[in-house]
Amino acid sequence: MSSSSSFFTSSLGRKFVMGITGIFLITFLIVHVGVNSLIFFDKSGELFNAAAHFMGTNWVIRSMEIVLFAGIILHIIQSLILTRQNKAARPQGYAISGSNVNSSWYSRSMGLLGTLILIFLIIHLGDFWVKARFDAKGGIPEGAAGMHDMYSEMKEVFSNIVLVIVYVLSMISLSYHLMHGFQSSFQSLGLNHYKYTPAIKAIGKWYSIIVPVLFALMPLYVYFVINK
């Protein structure tokens, strides 16, 4: 076995991969929330549909979708392996007295939070991405210039209060997941220094609040404002 393959199958290597994929997904969320936030500036949906059309037809973006899905899958796999390894190394888990003082509950619940986010991701992809990419003739009506009317699809999805609640609760899970995952991604890459770690923690805290809140506001805005 080569030294490179040995590294990536080691605990340190797996954490490195988690860090790389984590930062990639953090960057993706910024782009995603930016595009989706266009619904707050144009109730007609034209601006949102134009952005969605660009994201769905630009070959660079479409190529990055492959990288995105690969990153998500790799992130999940590495997370499961590391969780299993940690449990094997510490059979009693966090039942040790004083563990609550040394770590936050969400840092000890990354596996559960990640699972909830994965379930949400499957629902979200089914609601939007699958229909936009594979249901060209049905499911989503076409708007101006032959563009998929993703705005109308979003209005339809978020007319269901149950789905609105699911999305909001999922964003709460995402927020807590990011509270630990943001800093952990940088730390896994060895970016841990007394000079810039406090800044990473501060940015991560605000990122973990602002991004999920914006995502959570979208279904609420569609349900209570646009659809009324």
CB atoms within 10 A of CB 205: 14
* pLDDT bracket for residue 102 (50, 70, 90): low
* Residues 41 and 47 sit within 8 Å (Cβ to Cβ): yes
Q: What is the pLDDT of residue 184?
A: 85
Is 0.85 surpassed by the pTM of this model? no
- Identify the residue with better confidence: 120 or 16: 120
* pLDDT bracket for residue 114 (50, 70, 90): confident
Amino acid at site 105 = W
Least confident of 56-60, 69-73, 99-103, 132-136: 99-103
Tell me which DSSP letter residue 45 carries: S
In this structure, CATH architecture of domain 3-90+107-226: Up-down Bundle (1.20)
Distance of CA 113 to CAs 95, 120, 208, Å?
A: 19, 11, 14
Q: In terms of Cα–Cα distance, which of 38, 96, 47, 97 is closest to 218?
A: 38
On average, the pLDDT of the chain sits at 81
**3-state DSSP assignment of residue 142:** strand
Q: What is the pLDDT of residue 143?
A: 47
Q: What is the pLDDT of residue 156?
A: 93
Q: What is the pLDDT of residues 174-195, one digit of tens each?
A: 999 898 888 888 887 877 777 7
Q: What is the pLDDT of residue 136?
A: 52
